[in-house]
Amino acid sequence: MIGLKKIPKRVVITPPKMFVLGFAIIILLGSFLLSLPIATQNGEGLNWLNALFTATSATCVTGLVVVDTETTFSLFGQIVILSLIQVGGLGFMTFATFLALLVRRKISFRQRLLLQESLNSSSTQGIVKLARTILFFTLVAEGIGSLLLAIRFSFDMPIKKAVYFGIFHAVSNFNNAGFDIMGNFKSFTGYVEDPAVTLVVCILIILGGIGFIVVSDVYENRSFNKLTLHTKVVLSTTAILLAAGTVLVFILEFNNPKTLQPLSIGGKILASFFQSVTPRTAGSNTLNIPDLTISTLFLTIILMFIGASPGSTGGGIKTTTFATLLGAAWAQITGKRDVEFFRFRIIPTMIYKSLTITLIAMLLVIVVTMFLSITEKTNNFLMIFFETVSAFGTVGLSMGLTPELTSFGKIIIALTMFIGRLGPLTVAIALAEQNEKENYRRPKGKFMIG
Protein backbone atom coordinates (compact mmCIF):
# COMPACT_ATOMS: atom_id res chain seq x y z
CA MET A 1 0.00 0.00 0.00
CA ILE A 2 1.47 3.32 -1.06
CA GLY A 3 1.63 5.83 1.75
CA LEU A 4 0.23 9.27 1.22
CA LYS A 5 2.69 12.13 1.36
CA LYS A 6 2.03 14.67 4.04
CA ILE A 7 1.11 17.97 2.49
CA PRO A 8 3.28 20.69 3.99
CA LYS A 9 1.46 23.41 5.83
CA ARG A 10 1.21 26.56 3.76
CA VAL A 11 3.07 29.50 5.21
CA VAL A 12 0.72 32.47 5.40
CA ILE A 13 2.21 35.91 5.85
CA THR A 14 -0.46 37.76 7.80
CA PRO A 15 -0.72 41.59 7.80
CA PRO A 16 0.97 41.83 11.26
CA LYS A 17 3.88 39.68 10.01
CA MET A 18 4.20 41.76 6.84
CA PHE A 19 4.06 44.91 8.95
CA VAL A 20 6.93 43.68 11.15
CA LEU A 21 8.93 42.44 8.16
CA GLY A 22 8.49 45.69 6.25
CA PHE A 23 9.79 47.83 9.10
CA ALA A 24 12.73 45.44 9.62
CA ILE A 25 13.74 45.74 5.95
CA ILE A 26 13.57 49.55 6.06
CA ILE A 27 15.73 49.59 9.20
CA LEU A 28 18.36 47.30 7.64
CA LEU A 29 18.47 49.44 4.50
CA GLY A 30 18.85 52.58 6.62
CA SER A 31 21.60 50.92 8.66
CA PHE A 32 23.53 50.14 5.48
CA LEU A 33 23.23 53.73 4.21
CA LEU A 34 24.31 55.23 7.54
CA SER A 35 27.35 52.96 7.66
CA LEU A 36 28.64 54.35 4.34
CA PRO A 37 31.60 56.79 4.49
CA ILE A 38 29.51 59.49 2.80
CA ALA A 39 27.02 59.45 5.70
CA THR A 40 29.37 60.95 8.32
CA GLN A 41 31.39 64.14 8.46
CA ASN A 42 34.65 62.30 9.15
CA GLY A 43 34.19 60.13 6.05
CA GLU A 44 34.43 56.87 8.00
CA GLY A 45 30.74 55.97 8.38
CA LEU A 46 29.17 54.63 11.56
CA ASN A 47 30.05 51.23 12.94
CA TRP A 48 27.31 48.67 12.24
CA LEU A 49 25.79 48.72 15.74
CA ASN A 50 25.52 52.52 15.97
CA ALA A 51 24.16 52.60 12.40
CA LEU A 52 21.56 49.96 13.29
CA PHE A 53 20.58 51.82 16.47
CA THR A 54 20.24 55.17 14.66
CA ALA A 55 18.26 53.66 11.78
CA THR A 56 15.94 51.91 14.26
CA SER A 57 15.46 55.11 16.25
CA ALA A 58 14.66 57.10 13.06
CA THR A 59 12.34 54.50 11.48
CA CYS A 60 10.55 53.93 14.78
CA VAL A 61 10.32 57.75 15.15
CA THR A 62 11.89 57.67 18.60
CA GLY A 63 14.82 60.10 18.70
CA LEU A 64 17.13 58.31 21.12
CA VAL A 65 20.66 58.77 19.77
CA VAL A 66 24.07 57.32 20.56
CA VAL A 67 25.86 60.07 18.60
CA ASP A 68 25.02 63.74 18.08
CA THR A 69 23.09 64.10 14.82
CA GLU A 70 24.37 67.55 13.86
CA THR A 71 28.08 67.02 14.50
CA THR A 72 28.32 63.37 13.40
CA PHE A 73 26.35 63.10 10.17
CA SER A 74 26.97 64.73 6.82
CA LEU A 75 24.15 66.26 4.80
CA PHE A 76 23.66 62.85 3.13
CA GLY A 77 23.45 61.10 6.49
CA GLN A 78 20.96 63.65 7.86
CA ILE A 79 18.76 63.28 4.74
CA VAL A 80 18.81 59.48 5.19
CA ILE A 81 17.67 59.95 8.80
CA LEU A 82 14.95 62.39 7.73
CA SER A 83 13.74 59.96 5.04
CA LEU A 84 13.58 57.11 7.57
CA ILE A 85 11.60 59.36 9.92
CA GLN A 86 9.11 60.22 7.18
CA VAL A 87 8.63 56.61 6.04
CA GLY A 88 8.49 55.35 9.63
CA GLY A 89 6.04 58.03 10.71
CA LEU A 90 3.62 57.57 7.82
CA GLY A 91 4.05 53.81 7.79
CA PHE A 92 5.75 52.03 4.92
CA MET A 93 2.41 50.84 3.48
CA THR A 94 1.06 54.41 3.35
CA PHE A 95 4.24 55.44 1.60
CA ALA A 96 4.02 52.48 -0.80
CA THR A 97 0.38 53.36 -1.55
CA PHE A 98 1.44 56.90 -2.37
CA LEU A 99 4.02 55.61 -4.86
CA ALA A 100 1.47 53.21 -6.38
CA LEU A 101 -1.04 56.04 -6.83
CA LEU A 102 1.62 58.17 -8.51
CA VAL A 103 2.19 55.53 -11.20
CA ARG A 104 -1.58 54.87 -11.41
CA ARG A 105 -1.40 51.28 -10.14
CA LYS A 106 -4.51 49.64 -8.76
CA ILE A 107 -4.43 48.91 -5.00
CA SER A 108 -5.15 45.21 -4.41
CA PHE A 109 -7.30 43.88 -1.56
CA ARG A 110 -4.21 42.44 0.14
CA GLN A 111 -2.53 45.84 -0.01
CA ARG A 112 -5.67 47.35 1.49
CA LEU A 113 -5.45 44.86 4.37
CA LEU A 114 -1.81 45.82 4.97
CA LEU A 115 -2.74 49.49 4.81
CA GLN A 116 -5.53 48.86 7.32
CA GLU A 117 -3.01 47.23 9.70
CA SER A 118 -0.54 50.07 9.19
CA LEU A 119 -3.12 52.77 9.96
CA ASN A 120 -4.76 50.79 12.76
CA SER A 121 -8.11 51.24 11.02
CA SER A 122 -11.16 49.13 11.85
CA SER A 123 -12.14 48.59 8.21
CA THR A 124 -10.73 48.50 4.68
CA GLN A 125 -13.65 50.59 3.43
CA GLY A 126 -12.37 53.96 2.25
CA ILE A 127 -8.82 53.07 3.29
CA VAL A 128 -7.21 54.35 0.07
CA LYS A 129 -9.10 57.64 0.37
CA LEU A 130 -7.87 57.88 3.96
CA ALA A 131 -4.29 57.30 2.77
CA ARG A 132 -4.66 60.17 0.28
CA THR A 133 -6.02 62.42 3.03
CA ILE A 134 -3.11 61.47 5.31
CA LEU A 135 -0.53 62.27 2.65
CA PHE A 136 -2.16 65.60 1.82
CA PHE A 137 -2.47 66.58 5.49
CA THR A 138 1.13 65.54 6.18
CA LEU A 139 2.47 67.68 3.32
CA VAL A 140 0.39 70.68 4.41
CA ALA A 141 1.27 70.40 8.12
CA GLU A 142 4.98 69.84 7.49
CA GLY A 143 5.03 72.56 4.83
CA ILE A 144 3.45 75.22 7.05
CA GLY A 145 5.58 74.11 10.02
CA SER A 146 8.74 74.27 7.91
CA LEU A 147 7.89 77.79 6.69
CA LEU A 148 7.14 79.17 10.16
CA LEU A 149 10.26 77.62 11.72
CA ALA A 150 12.44 78.77 8.80
CA ILE A 151 11.23 82.36 9.23
CA ARG A 152 12.07 82.27 12.94
CA PHE A 153 15.45 80.57 12.44
CA SER A 154 16.38 83.11 9.72
CA PHE A 155 16.91 85.67 12.50
CA ASP A 156 19.64 83.45 14.01
CA MET A 157 21.36 81.91 10.96
CA PRO A 158 21.83 82.27 7.18
CA ILE A 159 18.61 81.86 5.17
CA LYS A 160 19.63 78.57 3.46
CA LYS A 161 20.51 77.00 6.79
CA ALA A 162 17.29 78.37 8.32
CA VAL A 163 15.20 76.75 5.56
CA TYR A 164 16.95 73.41 6.03
CA PHE A 165 16.59 73.61 9.82
CA GLY A 166 12.92 74.46 9.39
CA ILE A 167 12.26 71.45 7.15
CA PHE A 168 14.24 69.02 9.28
CA HIS A 169 12.62 69.97 12.58
CA ALA A 170 9.11 70.24 11.13
CA VAL A 171 9.29 66.72 9.65
CA SER A 172 10.97 65.34 12.77
CA ASN A 173 8.42 66.77 15.21
CA PHE A 174 5.28 66.18 13.13
CA ASN A 175 6.31 62.53 12.99
CA ASN A 176 6.99 62.64 16.75
CA ALA A 177 10.62 61.62 16.17
CA GLY A 178 12.50 64.18 18.26
CA PHE A 179 15.70 64.15 16.18
CA ASP A 180 17.32 67.59 16.06
CA ILE A 181 20.34 69.22 14.45
CA MET A 182 20.85 71.96 17.01
CA GLY A 183 24.09 70.29 18.09
CA ASN A 184 25.51 68.87 21.32
CA PHE A 185 22.27 67.06 22.29
CA LYS A 186 20.69 70.38 23.35
CA SER A 187 17.45 70.22 21.30
CA PHE A 188 15.39 73.45 21.71
CA THR A 189 16.74 74.45 25.14
CA GLY A 190 17.99 77.72 23.59
CA TYR A 191 14.39 78.61 22.64
CA VAL A 192 12.73 77.80 25.97
CA GLU A 193 11.00 81.22 26.18
CA ASP A 194 10.46 81.64 22.44
CA PRO A 195 6.73 81.27 21.63
CA ALA A 196 7.35 81.07 17.86
CA VAL A 197 9.47 77.92 18.10
CA THR A 198 7.79 76.42 21.17
CA LEU A 199 4.19 76.70 19.96
CA VAL A 200 4.88 75.65 16.35
CA VAL A 201 6.75 72.55 17.50
CA CYS A 202 4.02 71.73 20.06
CA ILE A 203 1.27 72.01 17.44
CA LEU A 204 3.21 69.76 15.05
CA ILE A 205 3.69 67.16 17.80
CA ILE A 206 0.01 67.22 18.79
CA LEU A 207 -1.22 66.99 15.18
CA GLY A 208 1.07 64.03 14.50
CA GLY A 209 0.17 62.36 17.80
CA ILE A 210 -3.65 62.44 17.78
CA GLY A 211 -3.85 60.09 14.81
CA PHE A 212 -4.62 60.55 11.13
CA ILE A 213 -8.11 59.05 11.48
CA VAL A 214 -8.96 61.71 14.08
CA VAL A 215 -7.64 64.51 11.88
CA SER A 216 -9.71 63.24 8.93
CA ASP A 217 -12.84 62.99 11.10
CA VAL A 218 -12.41 66.51 12.49
CA TYR A 219 -11.86 67.88 8.98
CA GLU A 220 -15.02 66.23 7.62
CA ASN A 221 -17.25 66.82 10.69
CA ARG A 222 -16.43 70.17 12.23
CA SER A 223 -18.90 69.76 15.10
CA PHE A 224 -17.97 67.80 18.25
CA ASN A 225 -21.42 66.16 18.34
CA LYS A 226 -20.94 64.75 14.83
CA LEU A 227 -17.54 63.22 15.56
CA THR A 228 -17.08 59.46 15.95
CA LEU A 229 -16.73 57.96 19.41
CA HIS A 230 -13.05 57.22 18.71
CA THR A 231 -12.33 60.88 17.90
CA LYS A 232 -14.21 62.12 20.98
CA VAL A 233 -12.29 59.78 23.29
CA VAL A 234 -8.92 60.69 21.72
CA LEU A 235 -9.50 64.45 21.83
CA SER A 236 -10.91 64.51 25.37
CA THR A 237 -8.20 62.22 26.78
CA THR A 238 -5.46 64.18 24.99
CA ALA A 239 -6.81 67.51 26.28
CA ILE A 240 -7.01 66.23 29.87
CA LEU A 241 -3.49 64.79 29.79
CA LEU A 242 -2.01 67.97 28.26
CA ALA A 243 -3.76 70.25 30.75
CA ALA A 244 -2.93 68.08 33.77
CA GLY A 245 0.68 67.66 32.62
CA THR A 246 1.16 71.40 32.13
CA VAL A 247 -0.23 72.28 35.57
CA LEU A 248 1.80 69.57 37.34
CA VAL A 249 5.09 70.49 35.63
CA PHE A 250 4.47 74.17 36.45
CA ILE A 251 3.92 73.34 40.13
CA LEU A 252 6.70 70.76 40.48
CA GLU A 253 9.37 72.83 38.69
CA PHE A 254 8.33 76.34 39.77
CA ASN A 255 11.12 76.74 42.33
CA ASN A 256 13.73 74.58 40.56
CA PRO A 257 16.70 76.94 39.91
CA LYS A 258 17.91 74.70 37.05
CA THR A 259 14.64 74.78 35.10
CA LEU A 260 11.66 77.13 35.62
CA GLN A 261 12.75 79.45 38.42
CA PRO A 262 14.93 81.79 36.26
CA LEU A 263 12.21 82.16 33.58
CA SER A 264 9.51 84.82 33.30
CA ILE A 265 5.93 83.78 34.09
CA GLY A 266 5.22 83.48 30.36
CA GLY A 267 8.37 81.41 29.91
CA LYS A 268 7.35 79.15 32.79
CA ILE A 269 3.97 78.47 31.18
CA LEU A 270 5.52 77.83 27.74
CA ALA A 271 8.16 75.48 29.15
CA SER A 272 5.57 73.62 31.27
CA PHE A 273 3.29 73.19 28.26
CA PHE A 274 6.15 71.98 26.06
CA GLN A 275 7.27 69.50 28.73
CA SER A 276 3.70 68.20 28.92
CA VAL A 277 3.42 67.80 25.13
CA THR A 278 6.77 66.25 24.33
CA PRO A 279 6.48 63.04 26.44
CA ARG A 280 3.54 62.17 24.18
CA THR A 281 6.23 60.38 22.10
CA ALA A 282 7.97 63.40 20.55
CA GLY A 283 11.36 63.65 22.27
CA SER A 284 12.24 67.31 21.73
CA ASN A 285 12.83 69.35 24.87
CA THR A 286 13.24 72.96 26.00
CA LEU A 287 14.26 72.01 29.55
CA ASN A 288 17.36 69.95 30.29
CA ILE A 289 15.93 66.56 31.25
CA PRO A 290 18.53 65.56 33.92
CA ASP A 291 17.86 68.88 35.70
CA LEU A 292 14.18 68.06 36.30
CA THR A 293 13.06 67.07 39.79
CA ILE A 294 12.47 63.38 40.53
CA SER A 295 8.72 63.95 40.72
CA THR A 296 8.66 65.59 37.26
CA LEU A 297 10.78 62.78 35.83
CA PHE A 298 8.30 60.24 37.20
CA LEU A 299 5.39 62.23 35.76
CA THR A 300 7.20 62.23 32.41
CA ILE A 301 7.59 58.43 32.61
CA ILE A 302 3.81 58.08 33.13
CA LEU A 303 3.04 60.33 30.15
CA MET A 304 5.59 58.49 27.97
CA PHE A 305 4.05 55.12 28.86
CA ILE A 306 0.56 56.33 27.87
CA GLY A 307 1.91 57.85 24.66
CA ALA A 308 -0.01 59.11 21.65
CA SER A 309 -3.20 57.87 19.95
CA PRO A 310 -3.94 54.92 17.62
CA GLY A 311 -3.11 55.38 13.95
CA SER A 312 -0.65 58.18 14.73
CA THR A 313 3.11 58.59 14.41
CA GLY A 314 3.55 57.97 18.15
CA GLY A 315 3.99 55.00 20.47
CA GLY A 316 3.01 54.04 24.02
CA ILE A 317 -0.04 52.04 25.04
CA LYS A 318 -2.15 54.83 23.45
CA THR A 319 -4.68 57.28 24.88
CA THR A 320 -7.71 55.12 24.04
CA THR A 321 -6.20 52.15 25.89
CA PHE A 322 -5.59 54.32 28.94
CA ALA A 323 -9.12 55.76 28.80
CA THR A 324 -10.67 52.29 28.44
CA LEU A 325 -8.80 50.98 31.49
CA LEU A 326 -9.90 53.98 33.57
CA GLY A 327 -13.46 53.50 32.37
CA ALA A 328 -13.40 49.80 33.25
CA ALA A 329 -11.99 50.54 36.72
CA TRP A 330 -14.62 53.21 37.33
CA ALA A 331 -17.43 50.90 36.20
CA GLN A 332 -16.18 48.18 38.57
CA ILE A 333 -15.89 50.60 41.50
CA THR A 334 -19.33 52.13 40.97
CA GLY A 335 -21.01 48.79 40.30
CA LYS A 336 -22.01 49.57 36.71
CA ARG A 337 -22.61 46.70 34.34
CA ASP A 338 -21.03 48.41 31.32
CA VAL A 339 -18.16 50.75 30.51
CA GLU A 340 -19.65 53.84 28.89
CA PHE A 341 -18.19 56.79 26.98
CA PHE A 342 -20.35 59.57 25.53
CA ARG A 343 -23.49 57.43 25.95
CA PHE A 344 -21.95 54.47 24.12
CA ARG A 345 -21.40 51.05 25.69
CA ILE A 346 -17.87 49.68 25.19
CA ILE A 347 -17.79 46.05 24.05
CA PRO A 348 -15.84 43.58 26.27
CA THR A 349 -13.41 42.74 23.43
CA MET A 350 -12.01 46.28 23.56
CA ILE A 351 -11.51 46.03 27.33
CA TYR A 352 -9.68 42.68 26.96
CA LYS A 353 -7.50 44.13 24.20
CA SER A 354 -6.64 47.16 26.34
CA LEU A 355 -5.70 44.93 29.27
CA THR A 356 -3.56 42.72 27.01
CA ILE A 357 -1.70 45.67 25.47
CA THR A 358 -1.02 47.24 28.88
CA LEU A 359 0.09 43.98 30.49
CA ILE A 360 2.48 43.12 27.62
CA ALA A 361 3.84 46.68 27.70
CA MET A 362 4.42 46.54 31.47
CA LEU A 363 6.14 43.16 31.21
CA LEU A 364 8.35 44.45 28.40
CA VAL A 365 9.37 47.53 30.41
CA ILE A 366 10.07 45.39 33.50
CA VAL A 367 12.19 42.84 31.60
CA VAL A 368 14.18 45.47 29.67
CA THR A 369 14.78 47.52 32.82
CA MET A 370 16.00 44.37 34.57
CA PHE A 371 18.42 43.53 31.75
CA LEU A 372 19.78 47.08 31.58
CA SER A 373 20.28 47.19 35.34
CA ILE A 374 22.61 44.19 34.88
CA THR A 375 24.45 45.26 31.73
CA GLU A 376 24.88 49.02 32.24
CA LYS A 377 27.46 50.64 34.47
CA THR A 378 25.20 53.17 36.17
CA ASN A 379 23.57 52.55 39.54
CA ASN A 380 20.91 55.17 38.84
CA PHE A 381 17.74 53.07 38.60
CA LEU A 382 15.55 56.03 37.61
CA MET A 383 17.84 56.75 34.64
CA ILE A 384 17.54 53.15 33.43
CA PHE A 385 13.77 53.09 33.96
CA PHE A 386 13.36 56.46 32.22
CA GLU A 387 15.37 55.35 29.18
CA THR A 388 13.44 52.09 28.88
CA VAL A 389 10.02 53.75 28.92
CA SER A 390 11.29 56.41 26.51
CA ALA A 391 12.33 53.67 24.08
CA PHE A 392 9.07 51.74 24.44
CA GLY A 393 6.98 54.89 24.01
CA THR A 394 9.16 55.89 21.02
CA VAL A 395 9.65 59.22 22.79
CA GLY A 396 13.37 59.93 22.59
CA LEU A 397 13.76 61.92 25.81
CA SER A 398 16.92 60.90 27.63
CA MET A 399 18.57 61.44 30.99
CA GLY A 400 21.92 60.83 29.30
CA LEU A 401 22.18 57.04 29.41
CA THR A 402 21.73 56.24 25.70
CA PRO A 403 25.11 57.58 24.46
CA GLU A 404 26.81 55.55 27.23
CA LEU A 405 25.02 52.25 26.53
CA THR A 406 27.02 49.05 26.19
CA SER A 407 26.72 47.05 22.96
CA PHE A 408 24.20 44.72 24.57
CA GLY A 409 22.28 47.70 25.94
CA LYS A 410 22.04 49.25 22.46
CA ILE A 411 20.59 46.02 21.04
CA ILE A 412 18.04 45.80 23.86
CA ILE A 413 16.93 49.42 23.49
CA ALA A 414 16.76 49.06 19.69
CA LEU A 415 14.45 46.05 20.05
CA THR A 416 12.34 47.97 22.57
CA MET A 417 11.95 50.89 20.13
CA PHE A 418 10.98 48.44 17.37
CA ILE A 419 8.29 46.78 19.52
CA GLY A 420 7.07 50.15 20.78
CA ARG A 421 6.59 51.54 17.27
CA LEU A 422 4.78 48.53 15.86
CA GLY A 423 2.81 47.94 19.05
CA PRO A 424 3.40 45.13 21.56
CA LEU A 425 0.20 43.31 20.58
CA THR A 426 0.99 43.47 16.84
CA VAL A 427 4.47 42.03 17.41
CA ALA A 428 3.09 39.34 19.74
CA ILE A 429 0.47 38.30 17.16
CA ALA A 430 3.07 38.30 14.38
CA LEU A 431 5.38 35.99 16.36
CA ALA A 432 2.74 33.69 17.84
CA GLU A 433 1.05 30.78 16.09
CA GLN A 434 -2.61 31.61 15.64
CA ASN A 435 -4.79 28.67 16.65
CA GLU A 436 -7.99 27.82 14.83
CA LYS A 437 -11.18 28.80 16.61
CA GLU A 438 -12.51 26.05 18.85
CA ASN A 439 -16.04 24.75 18.36
CA TYR A 440 -16.60 24.19 22.06
CA ARG A 441 -16.37 26.09 25.36
CA ARG A 442 -15.11 24.83 28.72
CA PRO A 443 -17.36 24.86 31.81
CA LYS A 444 -17.31 28.06 33.86
CA GLY A 445 -14.68 28.35 36.60
CA LYS A 446 -14.45 30.73 39.51
CA PHE A 447 -11.74 31.77 41.96
CA MET A 448 -11.06 34.65 44.35
CA ILE A 449 -9.51 37.92 43.10
CA GLY A 450 -8.24 40.82 45.17
Three-state secondary-structure class, residue 344: strand
User: Any idea which of 18-22, 52-56, 222-226, 251-255 has the lowest mean pLDDT?
Assistant: 18-22
pLDDT digits (tens, 9 = 90+) for 286-341: 999 999 999 999 999 999 999 888 877 778 899 999 999 999 999 888 888 888 88
User: Any idea which of 124-138, 201-215, 288-302, 358-372 has the lowest mean pLDDT?
Assistant: 124-138
The pLDDT value recorded for residue 446 is 67
What are the backbone angles phi and psi of residue 105, rounded to the nearest 5°? -90, 145
Contact (Cβ atoms closer than 8 angstroms) between residue 121 and residue 20 = no
The pLDDT value recorded for residue 422 is 78
Question: Please, which residues have CB within 8 angstroms of residue 320's CB and are 6 or more apart in sequence?
Answer: 230, 233, 234, 237, 309, 310, 354
Region 202-227 average pLDDT: 85
Kindly tell me if the per-residue pLDDT of 264 is higher than 50. Answer: yes
State the Cα angle at 66 between 60 and 69, rounded to 5°: 80
If phi > 0 it is left, if psi is from -120 to 50 it is alpha, else beta; for residue 396 that is: left
Between 32 and 15, the higher pLDDT residue: 32
Kindly tell me if the per-residue pLDDT of 117 is higher than 80. Answer: no
Q: Rounded distance, CA 404 to CA 360, Å?
A: 27
pLDDT digits (tens, 9 = 90+) for 394-417: 898 989 898 889 999 999 999 999
If phi > 0 it is left, if psi is from -120 to 50 it is alpha, else beta; for residue 359 that is: alpha
Q: Rounded distance, CA 18 to CA 382, Å?
A: 36
The pLDDT value recorded for residue 262 is 92
Region 225-249 average pLDDT: 92
User: Any idea which of 63-77, 84-98, 177-191, 219-233 has the lowest mean pLDDT?
Assistant: 84-98
If phi > 0 it is left, if psi is from -120 to 50 it is alpha, else beta; for residue 178 that is: left
Three-state secondary-structure class, residue 341: strand
The pLDDT value recorded for residue 305 is 93
Helix orientation angle between 159-174 and 127-153, rounded to the nearest 10 degrees: 140
The pLDDT value recorded for residue 275 is 94
Q: Which helix (H) or strand (E) covers residue 345, if one does?
A: strand 344-345
Region 130-155 average pLDDT: 88
- C-alpha of 190 from chain center: 25
Query: Over the chain, what is the mean pLDDT?
Result: 84
Per-residue buried b or exposed e for 171-185, using 16+ beta carbons within 10 Å of the residue's own CB: bbbbbbbbbbbbeeb
Q: Rounded distance, CA 316 to CA 337, Å?
A: 29
Per-residue buried b or exposed e for 24-62, using 16+ beta carbons within 10 Å of the residue's own CB: eebbeebbbbbbbeebbeeeebbeebbbbbbbbbbbbbb
pTM attached to this predicted model: 0.86
The pLDDT value recorded for residue 1 is 44
Between 441 and 405, the higher pLDDT residue: 405
Contact (Cβ atoms closer than 8 angstroms) between residue 205 and residue 172 = no
Residue 61 pLDDT grade (very low, low, confident, very high; cuts 50, 70, 90): confident
What are the backbone angles phi and psi of residue 438, rounded to the nearest 5°? -80, 150
pLDDT digits (tens, 9 = 90+) for 362-374: 999 999 999 999 9
| Residues 234/240/242/244 CA torsion (nearest 10 deg) | -160
